């Protein structure tokens, strides 16, 4: 199964935030603040959204920073995704 | 009786979330969080909605993910439906 | 006396929800949740409403589902009506 | 003195709601819920209001139903009026 | 010093509400509800305001009724004025 | 250092409100309500702001009245300024 | 790694506010109110954003004043950035 976003939506997958402290202890994801970095999994077709032409500017595989309080969390086949509007993506990390 | 949605509305029917735990116990729908997956039952004609041209992009039978806090629940002949605007549909599940 | 709605307004009359329980007891309307089904009594002319062209899509006699928290209740000659904007009508029941 | 409304405003005068109960007792206006019926006293010229062309559809003398929580109460020469925008008038009573 | 309003603003001066009760006692302004009647002191040039063409319809000297909760009170040389947008003026009193 | 405002922003400097009471006591600024009079220090270029053409109508040196709850206070080299949008300026004092 | 902002976004880096009190004590950044001055690190391409043409007016290296309650804080490689829309930048400090 795969998610095919509509309009200007983008499907994201949050990047794992596994971090090694200076003393060498590995902190698993839950012990940290959720990172806002994610990978683009699928990109909607864009086009006229809410009466306005939207051109998609991200592509599958991009690492992106997205707005903390945006998007909808979705679970599919045990995996968690976030579906956001492209305008909630702030920047691409290169 | 059937529901004929107006404008950019879409009639959805929530998919049953019957899940078997690892130990083999079947959890009925009520014991779980409501899934956001639904099947498209009927699609409005689109056209000019709120002064903006809307083209319908989902079709009857599509499995879709919709925004958790959107839509109106409707009961007809003992069946429960959700009527959403197409813009509340985030993605098609293929 | 009759109500002639302006613009994109529609006059509705709620359908009586008299239901017979399995044991044969008739529950009068008050003992139940208000149904959202209503009959269209009068339809405004449409036209330019709030700067946008609105085409009326419902006709007198249609059974419709309308949005629970919309509309204004109006009493005329002892009868209760609800006046809604057409955009608050979700679907026609056929 | 008279009120000349600007733009899409309409000056209304609430209709007296004097009602005779079945036993013949006359209830004066205060003892009842305020009716939403009013008579049109003066009509603004319409034209471009908030960047949108508005055509006036009510005329002086019309009995109208207006939205309960809209309008501004105004006292002039001891008389009370309500000034509403035409879009707050729901229907004409004929 | 004088106030020259920008755009669609209008400078108003509230009319004194000195009223004689039936028994002949004069109530000074403070003992009463603030009247919403005011005199137009200065009128902005209109033109394109917030992207929309606004044509000024009131003139200096007009007695007007304005919306109770609108406008900004301003003190200049010991005199109090209210600066409102023309759209907050409901009607001219003639 | 100087502030160069963007778009339709205007840099203001509040005018000192030093007032002599009738008995001759000078009240320093803090003991009084903040005046809304300010001097224009710098004016943005205007142009298309939020999709709408804005023409700047104030000039450096103008004494203006601005809306009490608008603008952002900014400290630069120990001096305090207020940056407002031109639409928050109500009138020029001449 | 670097941040490439989308649309009308701008990546800012807050300027260190290290201040010497009159008695010569250096207050580190935490003991003070956050300054609103920042340096522009990266500028989005502008173009059509939310249906409106946006022309970018700041350039990398500009010192700017931005609106206190806007923007999203982002951490990348241990450095903290703020991503704002250009319209949240009030002025350039020259």
Cα distances (Å, whole numbers) of residue B7 to B46, B69, C68, D63, F42:
5, 20, 18, 32, 50
| Best A91, A93, A94 residue to mutate vs chain G (most G CBs within 10 Å) | A91
| pLDDT tens-digit map of B16-64 | 755 555 565 555 544 444 557 999 999 999 998 888 889 999 999 999 9
Residue F30 pLDDT greater than 50, yes or no: no
**Nearest CB to E57 within list D6, D42, D76:** D6
Q: Give the Cα separation of C3 and D79 in Å (integer).
A: 27
Q: Angle at the Cα of G61 (from G58 to G63), degrees rounded to 5?
A: 75
Among A13, A42, A54, A74, the residue to mutate for chain B (most B Cβ within 10 A): A74
**Which candidate from G51, G67, G93 shows the least CB-CB separation from F76?**
G93
Q: How confident is the model at residue E86 (pLDDT cuts 50, 70, 90)?
A: very high
Percent with pLDDT over 70 in chain D: 80
Nearest residue on chain E to F63, judged by CA atoms? E3
Tell whether E90 lies on the interface with D, counting CB pairs under 8 A.
yes
> Which CATH number is E9-18+26-93's, of 3.40.630.30, 3.90.870.30, 2.30.33.40, 1.10.10.60?
2.30.33.40
pTM, two decimal places: 0.81
Query: Does residue C88 or residue C26 have the better pLDDT?
Result: C88
Which of chain E's residues have a Cβ under 8 Å away from the Cβ of F92?
3-4, 6
CA A75 to CA B33: how far, in whole Å? 11
Nearest to F91 among E9, E48, E50 (CB): E9
Tell me, yes or no, if B51 comes closer than 8 A to chain C by beta carbon.
Answer: yes
Q: Which residues contact D57 (CB under 8 A, 6 or more apart)?
A: C6, C7, D86
| B72–C contact, CB cutoff 8 A | yes
Higher pLDDT, G17 or F85: F85
Interface of A with G in 28-47 (CB under 8 A): 36
D63 with C12: CB under 8 angstroms? no
Contacts of range A66-72, beta carbons closer than 8 Å, 24 or more positions apart = A66/A12, A66/A36, A66/A38, A66/A90, A67/A36, A67/G72, A68/A36, A68/G72, A71/A12, A72/B36, A72/B65, A72/B67, A72/B68, A72/B90
- As a 3-state breakdown, chain G gives helix, strand, coil percent values, each rounded to 5, of 5, 50, 45
Q: Is the pLDDT of residue D4 over 80?
A: yes
CATH class for the domain made up of F9-16+34-93: mainly beta
Least confident range of A28-42, E57-71, F34-48: A28-42
Chain D residues with CB-CB distance to C83 below 8 A: 65, 90-91
Compute and round to an integer the Cα radius of gyration of chain F: 15
Q: How far away is chain B from the Cα of A35, in angstroms, using its nearest Cα?
A: 23
- Can you give the pLDDT at residue C90? 95
CA E26 to chain centre: 24
Nearest to C94 among B2, B6, B48 (CB): B2
Q: CA-to-CA distance for F88 and F8, rounded, in angstroms?
A: 10
Neighbours of chain G (3+ CB pairs under 8 A): A, F
Question: CA-CA distance, E39 to E92, in Å (whole number)?
Answer: 10
Q: How many CB atoms lie within 10 A of CB D69?
A: 7
Domain ranges of chain E: 9-18+26-93
Subunits with 3+ C-beta pairs closer than 8 A to F: E, G
Lowest-confidence region among E41-50, E67-76, G11-20? G11-20
Whole-number Å distance between alpha carbons of D2 and E71: 24
| Option in E6, E48, E50 nearest F90 (CB) | E6
- Chain centroid, CA G79 distance in Å: 13
F92–E7 CB contact, under 8 Å: no
Mutate: best of C90, C92, C93, partner B, most B CBs <10 A? C90
**Band of pLDDT at residue G1, cut at 50, 70 and 90:** confident
End-to-end CA distance of chain D: 29
Q: What is the pLDDT of residue C61?
A: 98
C-beta atoms of D83 and E68 within 8 A: no
Kindly tell me if the per-residue pLDDT of G25 is higher than 70.
no
3-state secondary structure of B74: strand
Smallest CA–CA distance, residue G90 to chain F, in Å, is 6
Residues 6+ away with beta carbon under 8 Å from G82: G11, G12, G13, G14, G38, G66, G71, G72, G73, G74
Phi-psi region of C61 (alpha: psi -120 to 50; beta: other; left: phi over 0): left
| Helix (H/G/I), strand (E/B), else coil: C27 | strand
CATH of domain D9-93: 2.30.33.40
**D60-86: average pLDDT:** 92
> Cβ–Cβ of A7/B52 closer than 8 Å?
no
How confident is the model at residue E17, as a pLDDT? 60
Inform me whether the pLDDT recorded for D88 exceeds 90. Answer: yes
Label residue G50 by pLDDT band (50, 70, 90): confident
Please indicate if any CB of chain D lies within 8 Å of the CB of C7. yes
Closest CA to F9 of F51, F47, F62, F63: F47
Nearest-CA distance from C94 to chain D in Å?
Answer: 27
When scoring B91, B92, B93 by the number of chain A Cβ atoms within 10 A, the one with the most, hence best to mutate, is B91
Give me the residue from B52, B68, B93 closest to A72, CB to CB: B68
Q: Can you list the positions of beta strands (E) in chain F?
A: 3-5, 9-14, 19-20, 26-27, 37-43, 47-49, 52-54, 63-66, 72-76, 79-85, 89-93
Show residues of chain F in contact with E76, CB under 8 Å. Answer: 65, 93
Chains E and C touch (3+ CB pairs under 8 A): no
Average pLDDT, chain G: 85
Write down the pLDDT at residue A35: 56
- pLDDT, tens digit, 9 for 90 and up, residues A20-30: 555 655 555 44
SS3 E51: coil
Of the candidates G51, G58, G91, which has its C-beta nearest F3's C-beta? G91
- pLDDT at residue number C8: 95
Q: What pLDDT digit, counting tens, does each position of E50-62 carry?
A: 888 899 999 999 9
Task: Give E70→chain F minimum CA distance, Å.
Answer: 12
Contact at CB, B3 and C92, closer than 8 angstroms:
yes
Q: Which of B52, B57, B89 sits opposite A51 (nearest CB)?
A: B52
Reported confidence tier of residue D55, pLDDT bands at 50, 70, 90: very high
Q: How far is CA E1 from CA E22, F64, G69, in A?
A: 41, 12, 37
Which of G93, G64, G59, G91 has the alpha carbon at shortest distance from F2?
Answer: G93
């Amino acid at each position: 199964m795969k998610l095919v976003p509509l309009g200007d939506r983008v499907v994201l997958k949050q990047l794992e935030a596994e971090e090694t402290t200076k003393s060498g202890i590995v902190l698993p994801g839950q012990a940290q603040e959720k990172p806002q970095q994610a990978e683009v999994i699928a990109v909607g077709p864009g086009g006229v959204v809410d009466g306005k032409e939207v051109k998609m500017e991200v592509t599958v595989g991009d690492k992106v920073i997205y707005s903390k309080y945006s998007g909808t969390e979705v679970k599919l086949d045990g995996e968690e995704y976030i579906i956001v509007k492209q305008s909630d993506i702030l920047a691409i990390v290169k």
